[in-house]
Amino acid sequence: MRHAARLSVAPMMDWTDRHCRYLHRLLSTRALLYTEMVTAPALVRGGALHLLDFSTEEHPVALQLGGSDPEELAQAARLGAEAGYDEINLNCGCPSDRVQSGTFGAVLMKEPVRVAECVAAMREAVDVEVTVKCRIGVDEQNPEQILPEFLDRIGAAGCGRVTIHARKAWLQGLSPKENRDIPPLDYDLVHRMKREFPHLHISINGGIASLDEAKRHLGAGLDGVMIGRAAYHQPADILCAADPEIFGIGAATDPVNAVHAMLPYIERHLSGGGRLHQITRHMLGLFAGRPGARGWRRALSEGAVRDGAGPELVLAALERVAPMERTAEVV
C-alpha cells in the first residue's frame, strides 16, 4: 500500500464513486484509489452498507470515512475492513458546512487530541492500515505551529501515513469550491514536515496537475502525491503513463483500450437496472485535449441520459475521436 500511495487519486464527493474507480483502474494498475467520503453514522446508525460496494478489480482501494466519535469510527472501520478495503482513511480536510455541522472534516484540525483518539480506536479495530487526510490548518491557525503537533499526535496514535492538502481551509467565508482554490498553497511546509517527521509516510495534495509535477515532489523527498481534479477531468493525462513513470513497471495504457474494456462493465450495470450516464459521466474527459474530444463529450452528454442508451452509444461516441486516437486494438 505504501508503494501504491506514490500516486493516488483523491477522494472527491460525487466523483470518485465505484464506476469512476473502475475506469481509473483500467488506466493504471498501481495507483491507489479512494472512495468518496462515507460518514461513519451512515454506516453504523443508518445501516447504509451499500455505500461500501466496490469491484474486486479496483484494488488497491481505500475507504475514506468521515466522523469524530472514536467508537463509531472504529465500528465503521471494521465494516470497511470486512468489506475488503485495503486501507481506512479518516477525513480531516473537507471544509463543507455539512461536515462542520457533524463535527468532522477540516474542523478536526482544531482537535488533534480527538483525532488521535479516533485513530487509536480505528487502529485497534482493524488490521488494515489507518491513515489520515488533513489540511495544513484552518481559519486563523498558524500552520507552522499546529501542523507539527497534529502530525505528532496522530503518529503516536498509530497513523504511519498521512496525506496533507497544502492549503488552509477557511470554515467561514469561503465555499468548499473556493477552499480548493483561494487559500494559497504552501508546498514548502509539507516538505519541511517530511524532514521533521521522517518516520511518517507523507503524501502531498493540492493543485498538482501533471505527472511531471508529481515526479518533482517525489524527487524532492516526499513519499507520495495525491491528485484530484486533474485526475478526474483529464484521467488519461495523469493515469495512462503512471505505471511506467511513477511505479517503474509496465507500459503506458491507451484510453481507447479502456473504452472497450468498459463495455462489459457497462452491460452488467445496465442489466442490473442502472443507467448509462451513471458511468459515462466519468468518461467525458478521457480524450481531453485530443482531436475529437469535443465530439466524444457531446455524444455521451446528450445521448447517455436517454432511455435505452447502451454500449452502442459509447462506440458511436468513440467514432467521433480522430482516427489517430483510435488505432489501438483491444487486447
Give me the phi and psi of 235, to 5 degrees please. -60, -35
pLDDT score, position 330: 43
What is the average per-residue pLDDT within 173-188?
80
Mean confidence (pLDDT) of the chain: 94
pLDDT score, position 101: 59
Q: Which three cell numbers stand for residue 282?
A: 466519468
d(CA 29, CA 288): 21
pLDDT score, position 329: 45
Pick left, alpha or beta for residue 103 (phi over 0 → left; psi -120 to 50 → alpha; otherwise beta).
left
Decide if pLDDT at 181 tops 80: no
What is the average per-residue pLDDT within 142-157?
98
Q: What is the pLDDT of residues 295-323, one digit of tens each?
A: 999 999 999 999 999 999 999 999 999 66
Decide if pLDDT at 234 tops 50: yes
pTM: 0.94
Residues 6+ apart with CB under 8 A from 6: 218, 223, 224, 225, 246, 247
What is the average per-residue pLDDT within 323-331?
51
- Per DSSP bridges, beta strands 161-169 and 224-227 are unpaired
Given a contact cutoff of 8 angstroms between Cβ atoms, the answer to whether 120 and 159 are in contact is no
Residues 6+ apart with CB under 8 A from 154: 112, 115, 116, 119, 132, 162
Decide if pLDDT at 165 tops 80: yes
pLDDT score, position 327: 53
The residue annotated as part of the active site, out of 94, 134, 159, 240, is 94
Q: Which three cell numbers stand for residue 223?
A: 513519499
94 is catalytic: yes
